Amino acid sequence: MTDDVVPPIRLEREIDQSKPSIARVYDYLLGGKDNYLVDQEVGDHFKLHLPGSVAIAFTSRQALIRGVRDMAVAGMRQFIDFGSGLPTADNVHQVAQRHAPGARVVYVDSDPIVLAHGRALLATDQNTTVIQADARDPKSIRDHPEVARLIDFEQPVAVIFSSILHHLNDDEEPAGVVQFWNDQIPSGSHVFITHFRSGHNPETTAAEQKLQDTFGRGRWRDTEEIRTLFGDLEILEPDIVPSAQWRPDAPADEAASVGTVGRELTVWEQLIVTGLARKP
At 9 the pLDDT is: 65
Q: 92 lies in a domain? A: yes
Question: Closest by alpha carbon to 182, among 234, 233, 240, 106?
Answer: 233
Q: 235 lies in a domain? A: yes
CATH number for the domain that contains residue 181: 3.40.50.150
* 3-class state of residue 106 by DSSP: strand
Greatest Cα pair distance in the chain: 51
At 27 the pLDDT is: 87
Q: 54 lies in a domain? A: yes
Q: 133 lies in a domain? A: yes
Q: 11 lies in a domain? A: no
At 255 the pLDDT is: 46
pTM to 2 decimal places: 0.87
Name residues of the chain where pLDDT drops below 50: 4-7, 252-263
- The two beta strands, 158-162 and 128-132, are unpaired
Q: 3 lies in a domain? A: no
Number of domains making up the chain: 1
111 contacts: CB under 8 Å, gap ≥ 6: 12, 21, 22, 23, 24, 132
Asked if residue 23 lies in contact with residue 115, where contact means CB atoms within 8 angstroms, the answer is no
59 contacts: CB under 8 Å, gap ≥ 6: 242, 243, 244, 254, 257, 258, 269, 272
**Domain span including residue 157:** 22-278
Q: 7 lies in a domain? A: no
Q: 16 lies in a domain? A: no
